[in-house]
Chains A and B, each alone.
Chain A
């Protein structure tokens, strides 16, 4: 249920963002938008990969701490 609510929330946010872009866009400077947008998409995807490594490291540290506390 919690996941479904998150899904609804993020879908709502996506629709709001798209609607804002639509209102502002019309005949926008799309070549420029492509340059900025592509850079952003590539960097956010790259950051997502790095964040996964950080999450894994954090989980491993927590597991080690729990193990140390238990022993």
Chain B
């Protein structure tokens, strides 16, 4: 039996390392395509200002990229060190996309980043542009594979449990890759990165415009960021809805937590705009509701109902009772793999195997599980509602704020007078942390909402962790927090220094390919 404190600390450690890592990732995803857009204009127009832009923002991209890789490296190993049973149980499925992600990140992305940074004097403009697009593609494809792996944890499609090997096995690679959750989550996450980069570029450009420094670079950067951002924000909101729609079918407990939905009501159901959920009382305090909206949002109809915690707990209890014979059969098969009677029993109940594991936490011999223990396990099947509920609202509110910001930014920049709107430029600078907060809140919704499962409906979190000592977990968490905080301080220091320094003359040196048009460059100056 796992020590619950070790499981909780393993969760905390993974959450901390993932949240630290996720401060860097979205900026890399979005900035790489923003660099590609800037360099595209340079190659088309041959105006050196765009090359200067690509090089300056490329420098900031590189600082962020290096620290993103450094914080991401440990996570790949963490699956093995802290989640060894999980790694063994789903390694056949989870391992493949994780390995491809590693290959994408270390071979395609990192090789191309090297060429992008050091290739300005070695490659022709068109060749360098191709390299920049490959960096962008590599970064985002790397994210694709880790999100394919994550989507399997949210909605285990394309795999089945093999009682002969006692682990899950891949049944269909296309089902794994084209999992609805993977598709929507990849696009939602990737485009959230575009929004992050657009806010970052707009904010830093606004800083320069307020101080009347590098105004030509800043005006152009702001214009491109505003257009990039407004389209990306619309995409993120659309994909967020798609993810909710898919999640309603695949993970109804997560959706109930997101919406603070304790009781199933008749359609059309109201949306809890604000509420203070109480897990103990299974009710909301001080809630403000908007009629009809929940049915519309989740089912895209006015007559659709969404199951609340009351129904979901009943369903879970029924599935636990059905899963208990599957666990019993598995124990018999473990002792005697040739036991055909046990195999028949397992086949009859295998759909609810994971729910049988849920009650094993309270009744190691599941055949002795009492109704009270089954009810307790059924209650466990509901994630912590309050943090999921509020993280979801923070994410959505910040997303809508960013949409409003970008609409305003587009109006001002298209009129070509944003540089005179000091109040708006100040807002732009203050907007820089907003997408980072929204991204972190999104991660909390996705991962805390998946609890109590590591693989939804299949493998409970309490079974998945390694059997480390409490001291080891505390020591390693303190080590990670200290190291990663140092990384963030280094990133902030380097970023602020590079931004204060601005584009340097070295950045605007022509390439050996001779692609700069000196006349145009002179005209620009």
A-side residues, CB < 8 A to B, are: 3, 6-7, 10-11, 14, 17-18, 21-23, 25-31, 33-34, 37-38, 40-53, 55-56, 59
CB pair A42–B33 under 8 Å, yes or no, is: yes
Interface code B35-68, partner A: CB below 8 Å = 1, 0 otherwise?
0111011001101001000000000000000000
With A47-B227, A49-B223, A59-B416 known, 14 other A-B pairs at CB within 8 A are A6-B411, A14-B403, A17-B234, A18-B237, A23-B300, A25-B241, A25-B242, A27-B242, A31-B178, A31-B183, A38-B33, A38-B194, A52-B219, A52-B413
Q: From the candidates B36, B408, B412, name the one contacting A42 in the complex (CB within 8 A).
A: B36
A46–chain B nearest beta-carbon distance, Å? 5
CB pair A48–B245 under 8 Å, yes or no, is: no
Count of CB-CB pairs between chains A and B under 8 Å: 125
CB pair A34–B186 under 8 Å, yes or no, is: yes
Contact residues in A for B230 (Cβ distance below 8 Å): 14
Give the size category of B's interface with A: 35 or more
B246 contacts A by Cβ under 8 Å: yes
CB pair A45–B411 under 8 Å, yes or no, is: no
Contact residues in A for B226 (Cβ distance below 8 Å): 48
With A10-B411, A30-B183 given, is the CB distance from A37 to B245 under 8 Å?
no
Give the CA-CA distance A53 to B40 in the complex, in Å: 14
CB pair A41–B228 under 8 Å, yes or no, is: yes
Contact residues in A for B300 (Cβ distance below 8 Å): 22-23, 26
The 8 closest A-B pairs by CB, nearest first: A30-B183, A45-B228, A48-B227, A21-B238, A45-B37, A45-B224, A34-B187, A30-B187
B105 contacts A by Cβ under 8 Å: no
B78–chain A nearest beta-carbon distance, Å? 28
A47–chain B nearest beta-carbon distance, Å? 8
Contact residues in B for A29 (Cβ distance below 8 Å): 183
Residue on A with the closest CB to B412?
A: A3
B-side residues, CB < 8 A to A, are: 33-34, 36-38, 40-41, 44-45, 47, 50, 140, 178, 180, 183-184, 186-187, 190-191, 194, 219-220, 223-228, 230-232, 234-235, 237-239, 241-242, 245-246, 300, 403-404, 407-408, 410-414, 416
B187–chain A nearest beta-carbon distance, Å? 5
Q: From the candidates B33, B140, B234, name the one contacting A14 in the complex (CB within 8 A).
A: B234
Give the CA-CA distance A52 to B403 in the complex, in Å: 22
Contact residues in B for A26 (Cβ distance below 8 Å): 242, 245, 300
CB pair A46–B190 under 8 Å, yes or no, is: no
With A42-B36, A45-B34, A49-B38 given, is the CB distance from A22 to B238 under 8 Å?
yes
Give the CA-CA distance A49 to B104 in the complex, in Å: 31
Give the CA-CA distance A48 to B38 in the complex, in Å: 10
Give the CA-CA distance A49 to B41 in the complex, in Å: 7
With A11-B404, A48-B227, A52-B220 given, is the CB distance from A31 to B241 under 8 Å?
no
Contact residues in B for A7 (Cβ distance below 8 Å): 404, 407-408, 411
Can you list 27 A-B contacts (CB < 8 A)? A10-B407, A11-B403, A11-B404, A18-B234, A21-B234, A21-B238, A22-B241, A22-B300, A25-B238, A30-B184, A30-B239, A34-B190, A37-B187, A37-B191, A38-B140, A38-B194, A42-B33, A42-B228, A43-B37, A45-B224, A45-B228, A49-B38, A49-B41, A49-B223, A52-B220, A52-B413, A59-B416
CB pair A30–B227 under 8 Å, yes or no, is: no
CB pair B411–A3 under 8 Å, yes or no, is: yes
Contact residues in A for B223 (Cβ distance below 8 Å): 48-49, 51-52
Residue on B with the closest CB to A6?
A: B411
Contact residues in B for A52 (Cβ distance below 8 Å): 219-220, 223, 413, 416
